[in-house]
Amino acid sequence: MTPTRGSHQRTTGRLGAYAASLLLLAPLTACGTGDGEPAAEPPGPARTSATAGPAPSPNGDRTDDPTDAPATGSTDAGEDEAGLDPEAADLPPVRDRVSLPALMREEVRGSGLTTTRQLAETDNWTGYAATYRVDGATVSGELLVPKGEGPFPALVLNHGYIDPDVYVLGQGMSREQEWFAAAGFVVLHTDYRGHAGSDPVSDRDRESRLVYTRDAIGAVKALQRMPYVDADRTAYVGRSMGGGVTLNAIVAEPDLVDAAVVFASVSSSFVDNLRQFTEPNRPDGARAFYARHGTPQDDPRFYDGLSSRTYFDRVEVPVLLHHGTADDTCPPQWSRETDRLLTRAGADSTLVEWPGEGHAFGPRFGDSMRRTVAFLRRHLDA
C-alpha cells in the first residue's frame, strides 16, 4: 500500500474484529483487550513454561538513591487566586486538583523494579512477573528482557480496559509484548494500580485515569534506572484505554520518552469517553462522577482539564496512531480528530488507518507491528 502524504501519512489495510473491553467503569464490552484476542503472526519462538526453582533475575537499579517516597504536588498550596502555581508560570493553570495541569506539577517518582518469578523463556527473551514503585505505591506488571548484550531500548506498554475484578498479570497486550521483545526491546507491561498484584486505587483516581497515567510515567522512570536499559531510548505503546493513558503521559511529562504509539485509542476528549462508555453502560458511576464534579455542561473547564487534547501544544515526541475503520468500540473519527489536533498544535503526528479493521488487530496485526517497530527504531535509534 502506498500512503497518501500531507502534513501526516495515512496507510490502509484490513483487519477482523474481536471482542473488546470497556473504558472507565463500564463492563467488559468496550475499549480494551483480553486474553481472548485473536492470534497474530508470531514474532519469534512461542513462550515456554518456566521450570520450577529460582530464575535468573535482571534486578538492580543504576543507583541506590531512593525515589519511591511520596511526592508532594505543588497544587496542595501556594496557588494564586486564578489557580496557577506562581513557581510554574509556564504551565497551564490548575483549576482543580483532579486535572492534568495538577499532574504536570507533580514529581512522579518511579523506582524499585524487581522481578518476582520467571514466567517464560524463548531463544530471544526471558519474561518475568515484576513489581515497581510509584510514589510509594506498588504496581505489578510483566517484564520481558531480550537476550544478548545491552543496554537495550525500552518500552512501557499501557493496556486497554479490562475489569479489574477479572484482570490478571500482564493481560491485554501479550502479542505486543512478545513481538517487541523479539525485536530487541525491553518491555514493561504495567498492570496499573487496582489491577493484579498492584496496590488499591481510589474510585476517583480510577475514574479520572490520572493514577494510571502516574503508573505509566513511573514505569518509564523505574525502567530508566536499570543497567540493561538505555535510559535515553524509551517510548510508550498504548492500546484503547491505554492509548488515552499514553496521550495523558506525553502532555504531563513531555520530555520523558522519545516516541509514542497508540492503537485503537479512546478519545482525547474525556467527555467523549464518558458519553460513549460510562453513561450507557454504568449510569450509576456516571451519576456519582457528575455529583462530585458537575456535568460537562455545568463545568466544561473541569472536563477540559482531564482531556489530553487541551494540552497538545506540550507534545514534544513523534506520535504514531493506528485505527481500524470498522472499529465500533472506539470510533475511528476519534483518532482522526486526535491526529488533526496534534498536527494543528505543531506535533509530529502520523495516523495509519486500516479499512475494515475492528477494535483489535488480527489479519493485519503483523503489518501494524512491523510499521510500529520501524517507527520506534527510527526515533529511538534502535
pLDDT at 21: 34
* CATH homologous superfamily for the domain 111-380: Alpha/Beta hydrolase fold, catalytic domain (3.40.50.1820)
End-to-end CA separation in angstroms for the chain: 25
- The two beta strands, 349-354 and 229-239, are unpaired
What are the structural domain ranges in the chain? 72-106, 111-380
Element (H, E) at 116: strand 110-121
**Residues paired with 186 in a beta bridge:** 154
Of 347, 378, 133, the closest CA to residue 233 belongs to: 378
313: DSSP letter: G
Q: Which three cell numbers stand for residue 176?
A: 505486543
Sign of the CA dihedral 327, 170, 140, 130? negative
Cβ-based burial of 204 (10 A; exposed 0-12, middle 13-18, buried ≥19): middle
Q: Which three cell numbers stand for residue 361?
A: 488487530
Task: Identify residue 363 by its one-letter amino acid code.
Answer: P
pLDDT at 71: 43
Sequence-distant (6+) residues with CB within 8 A of 20 are 29, 30, 31, 32, 33, 160, 240, 329, 358, 359, 360
pLDDT at 382: 77
pTM (2 d.p.): 0.83
**DSSP string covering 250-263:** HHHSTTS-SEEEEE
Please give the chain's pLDDT, 382 residues, in tens.
333 323 333 333 323 333 333 333 333 334 554 333 333 333 333 454 443 333 446 886 554 343 444 443 333 333 343 444 545 768 999 999 999 999 999 999 999 999 999 999 999 999 999 999 999 999 999 999 999 999 999 999 999 999 899 999 999 999 999 999 999 999 999 999 999 999 998 877 788 999 999 999 999 999 999 999 999 999 999 999 999 999 999 999 999 999 999 999 999 999 999 999 989 988 888 899 999 999 999 999 999 999 999 999 999 999 999 999 999 999 999 999 999 999 999 999 999 999 999 999 889 999 999 999 999 999 999 7
In degrees and rounded to multiples of 5, residue 291 shows phi and psi of: -65, -35
Cross-sheet strand order for the sheet of 229-239: 48-49, 110-121, 125-134, 137-146, 186-190, 152-158, 229-239, 259-263, 319-324, 349-354
Q: Which three cell numbers stand for residue 247?
A: 496521550
- Rg of the chain on CA atoms, in Å: 20
280-284: long-range pairs with CB below 8 Å, 24+: 280/26, 281/22, 281/26, 281/27, 281/29, 281/30, 282/24, 282/25, 282/26, 282/27
